Structure formats: structure tokens, C-alpha cells
Amino acid sequence: MRYIILCLSFLFSLVFIYSCHDVVGVLGNDPDVVTIMCPDTEPGEIFRVNGVDYESVDNDLLRLRVSENSDMTTVCTSLVTDMSELFAGEIKRFYGSDPPVLNDFNEPIGNWDVSNVTNMSYMFYNSTFNQPIGKWDVSSVEDMSLMFSGSPFNQNINDWDVSSVTNMYKMFYHRIYMSTRYRDNGPFNKPIGDWDVSSVTNMKLMFSNTQFNQDISDWDVSSVTDMSEMFRKGSFNQPIGDWDVSSVTDMSQMFREVSFNQPIGGWDVSNVKNMRLMFFQSSFNQPIGDWDVSSVEDMFYMFAETPFNQPIGDWDVSSVKDMNLMFHRSSFNQPISDWDVGSVKNMYYMFFGTPFNQPIGDWDVSSVTNMESMFSNSQFNQPIGNWDVSSVTEMFGMFRKSQFNQPIGDWDVSSVTSMIGMFAETPFNQPIGNWDVSSVTNMMEMFFKSSFNQNISGWCVSNLIGTPTNFSTGSPLSDRNRPIWGTCPG
């Protein structure tokens, strides 16, 4: 490495003043990359390196020069500490259907001295920037959130020292607008496996909607607390099973709509509280039965529309409150009879469209309020007659198009308000004449095309003035077994 120490002469107030500063041009291994350094200058000073005049700038002067569309290749940035939003295009806090207005900045600034910069958030956000900056000294930077988000940047930055960075939120995130040229994933896909990310706490949406698929198996992510949507709708499918994720609290949507299918069964997820949509529409089908999910409160859509079918019967789900759509349209059919679901409040569409047919009759569902379409379109046909469903208000389509035909005559359904299509297109034909349906306001298609023909003439249906639409159309239910609409017998 060679250093060029230069004495300066410049004109100030029509008087020649001669001064000598430590103005340095650092020549690295690449002869085309010269880092211009001017640590002891004043903002506005002009100096020459290799026949080129450079201006020393601080935070304010740099932004002024950017606003003036000045030549950014001839500024010396050694005094600059903040480059946030420097070349950002339109910053859209709320996304509509229209793509953002881009900043067309794309000048070669690989010679900048950024060694004192601490903030690079939004720096190239929604810009056209795609120039080599791999020689930058970013060792002081703490915030790189949204740095390249929405840009076509795809350059080698594997040698960067990011050891001080704590925030990589949406760093390479790419917003997709289907009706425009922005419909494809962001292009960034360069090796960054050598990065020291040990200080990073936020990786939310970091590679979402990008083509990134590089080896980052050696990353130290032990400080990260938020990995939500980290690879969402991206191309990532690399081994990361050795990651230390023990500090992570949020993994929601982490692998959503990704082809990811790597072993991560050894992960310590004991601090994770949110796993909603974690594998939604992914290719994931790996053993994770040893996970400690005792802190998880939300499993909404967790395995929905995946091939997942692994044993997880030993999971401690006692903290989970939401299991809505958890296995919706998945391949899941494993024993989970020992699960403690006592805290769960929502189970709507939980097993919808699955082959699930396992015994869960001992579940404590006393806190559940919504069982809408819970077993709809599934193979489920197990005894659940002992369930306490007294808190449930919604049984809309609960067993519709399923194989269910088990005795549930002792259920307390007094809180239920909707039984629309509850047994439609099922073989169900069990006695439920003692049910208290006095709170139900809609029974449309309740037994539509089912096998039901039991005596329910004693039902209290004072909330239903006339026969609900298609109440028993296509079923063998006889007239004498039907309720007397608008009445409450006895």
C-alpha cells in the first residue's frame, strides 16, 4: 500500500494561503481503487490527488453537494459520519400499487473514505445504484437498515467489516409491483459468508424478495432477536442448521413462500414467541420434534400449504394462544394427542384440507372461541365427544366435507351463534337433540347433502323464524325430526 502526502495551496478571499495537511490517497490491491482520505482538513477545502481536485465535505456539505447534483467522485468524505438516505429515491412509508420514484444516482464512489460513518440506513434505497464499493471501510457503521432496498445493487462486498452493525433490517429487501418491471425479485446474490454479524440484533426482511442464495452457514447470529420474514419470498435454500438462534424471539414468516428445506432440528428456539406463518407455502419438511417451543404464543398458519409431516407430538404448546390455519392444506398427519392446548383461543381452519386423522379427544379446548372450518375437507373422524366447547361462538363449516361421524351429543354449544354448513356433505348421523342452540342465529346449509336424520325437533330455534336456506337439502332428515322454526319447545 502506498501513501501520497500532499501539501495544498488554495485561494481564499483572494489571498494565496499555503498549508500542509495529511491528505492521503490510499492505493489498495486494485490499482483502479484509490481511497481518498482527508481527516485533518476543513469542510470546503480543495486539494489535489493524482491531478484531480477533491473537496473535503462534512455531513451538511455532502448533502448540499448531492442536492446540487455535483460530481460525487471528487468529494472527500473522511469527515462524514451520517450517510442515511443520501441517495434514496422516494421513501414510501405505505405501499400502494404504484412503484416508487427512483433516484438515478449511479456514480463510481468506490474511492470514498467512509471509515467514520456510523449510519448508512436507506443510503441507496430505491435508487439505481450498482457500482463496486467492496473496498469501503465500513467498520464504524452501526445501521445498514434498508441500505440497498429497492436498488439493483449486486456487487461483491464480502470483505466488508460489518462487526459494528446492529441493524440489517430490510438491508437487501426488494418490493415487488406485479404490474411493472419491479415484478421480479431483487438481484443481490453475492457471497457474504465471511461477514462478522455478531453484533446484529435485527435481520427482519433482510433478504425478502431477493435472489440471494449463498452460503452463510458460519454466521454468528447469536445476538439476533428478530428474524421475522428474513427470507420471505426469496430464493434461499442453504444449510443454516448450526446457527445459534437462542436470542431470537420472532421467527414469524421467516421462510414464507421459500423453497427452503434444510435441517434445522438442532436450533434452540426456546425464546421464540412468534412463529406465525413461519413455513407458510414453503418446501419445508424436516424433523423439528425436539424443538423447545414452550415460549411460543402464536402458531397461526405455521405449516399451512406445506408438505410438512414430521412428528411434533412432544412439543410443549402450553403458551400458544393462536392455532388458526396451523396445518391448513398441509400433509400433516402425526400424533399430537398429548398437546396442552389449554391456552389456545382460536382453532379456525386448523386442519382444513389435511389428511389429519389422529386422536385428540383428551384436548382441553375450554378456552377456544372459534372452531370455524376446523376439520373441513379433512379425513378427521376421531371421538371428541368429551370436549368442553362451552366458550365456542363460531362453528361455521366445522366438519364440512370431512369424514366425521362421531357422537358429540353432550356438547355444550350454548354460546355458538353460527352453525352454517357445520355438517354439510358429511356422513354425520349422531344424536344431538339435546343441544342448546338457543344462541344460534344462522343454520344455513347445516346438514346440506349430509347423512343426518336424527330427532332435533326439540331444539330452541326462536332466533330462526323460517327454515334456513338449504338447511337439510339433499339429506334424509325427515319432517318429524326437524325443528319447529321460530319456537323454543318446553
**CA-CA distance, 186 to 175, in Å (whole number)?**
8
Q: What is the pLDDT of residues 276-334, one digit of tens each?
A: 999 999 999 999 999 999 999 999 999 999 999 999 999 999 999 999 999 999 999 99
pLDDT, tens only, 16-65: 222 345 555 554 445 566 899 999 999 999 999 989 999 999 999 999 99
Q: Is the pLDDT of residue 364 over 90?
A: yes
What was the pLDDT predicted at 333?
Answer: 99
Q: What pLDDT, on a 0 to 100 scale, did the predictor assign at position 176?
A: 53
Residue 353: per-residue pLDDT: 99
Query: What is the predicted pLDDT for the residue at 17?
Result: 27
How does residue 90 score in pLDDT terms, banded at 50, 70 and 90?
A: confident
Q: How confident is the model at residue 490 (pLDDT cuts 50, 70, 90)?
A: confident
Q: Which residue, among 323, 271, 313, 309, has the nearest Cα to 290 in the 3D structure?
A: 313
Q: Is the four-CA dihedral 418, 420, 422, 423 of positive or negative sign?
A: positive
Per-residue confidence (pLDDT) for residue 181, from 0 to 100: 45
Q: Span 439-448, mean pLDDT?
A: 99
| pLDDT higher at 89 or 268 | 268
DSSP string, 71-96: -GGGEE-TT--B-TTTT-----SS--
Task: Count the neighbouring beta carbons within 10 Å of the beta carbon of residue 309.
Answer: 17
CA end-to-end span of the chain, whole Å?
98
In this structure, is the dihedral angle defined by the CA atoms of residues 226, 228, 234 and 240, taken in order, positive or negative? positive
Q: What is the model's pLDDT at position 32?
A: 61
DSSP-derived letter for residue 65 is H
- Average pLDDT of the chain is 92
- Over range 75-103, report the average pLDDT: 84
Check pLDDT > 70 for residue 168: yes
Apex 160 CA angle, 158 and 166, nearest 5: 115
* pLDDT of 179 above 60: no
Q: What are phi and psi of 257, to 5 degrees?
A: 55, 45
Which of the two residues, 18 and 481, has the higher pLDDT score? Answer: 481
Residue 101 is predicted with a pLDDT of 82
Confidence check: pLDDT of 167 > 60: yes
| Among the ranges given (172-176, 213-217, 255-259, 345-349), the one the predictor scored with the smallest mean pLDDT | 172-176
Question: Which three three-digit cell numbers place residue 298?
Answer: 402464536
> Which phi and psi (to 5°) does residue 389 adopt?
-105, 25
DSSP string spanning 300-344? TTTTTTS------TT---TT--B-TTTTTTS------TT---TT-
* DSSP category for residue 257: T
Q: Is the pLDDT of residue 392 over 70?
A: yes
Query: Can you read off the three cell numbers belonging to residue 284?
Result: 419445508
Residue with cell 472527500: 76
Over 90: is that where the pLDDT of 269 sits?
yes
Cα dihedral 132, 137, 142, 144, rounded to 10, equals 0
User: What is the reported pLDDT for 27?
Assistant: 44
Whether the per-residue pLDDT at 140 is higher than 90: the answer is yes
Per-residue pLDDT, averaged over 251-278, amounts to: 99
CA dihedral 14, 20, 21, 23 (to 10 degrees): 90
Give the pLDDT confidence score for residue 7 in this predicted structure: 33
Task: Give pLDDT, residue 92.
Answer: 65
**% of the chain exceeding 70 in pLDDT:** 90
Q: Is the pLDDT of residue 122 over 80?
A: yes
Pairing status of strand 75-76 against strand 52-56:
parallel
Does the pLDDT at position 79 exceed 80? yes
Please check whether residue 161 is in contact with residue 194, taking contact to mean a CB–CB distance below 8 angstroms.
Answer: no
d(CA 227, CA 197): 13
If you ran DSSP here, which 8-state letter would residue 171 be given? Answer: S
Looking at residue 102, what is its pLDDT? 87
User: Does the structure show a pLDDT above 60 at 210?
Assistant: yes
Structural domain boundaries in the chain: 2-76, 87-106+120-128+141-153+162-239, 249-344
Mean pLDDT check: name the lowest of 162-176, 233-247, 267-281, 374-388: 162-176
Instruction: Say which residue the cell 440489517 belongs to.
Output: 168
DSSP lists the bridge partners of residue 8 as 19
Tell me: pLDDT of 393 over 60: yes
Cα 421 to Cα 264: distance, rounded to the nearest angstrom:
40
Closest CA to 294 of 271, 312, 276, 278: 271
207: how many CB neighbours lie within 10 A of its CB? 30
Q: What is the pLDDT, as a whole number, of residue 419?
A: 99
Please tell me the distance from the alpha carbon of residue 388 to that of residue 371, in angstroms, as a whole number: 12
Q: Is the pLDDT of residue 108 over 50?
A: yes
**pLDDT on residue 177:** 41
**Residue 65, φ and ψ in degrees, nearest 5:** -65, -35
Q: What is the pTM of this model?
A: 0.91
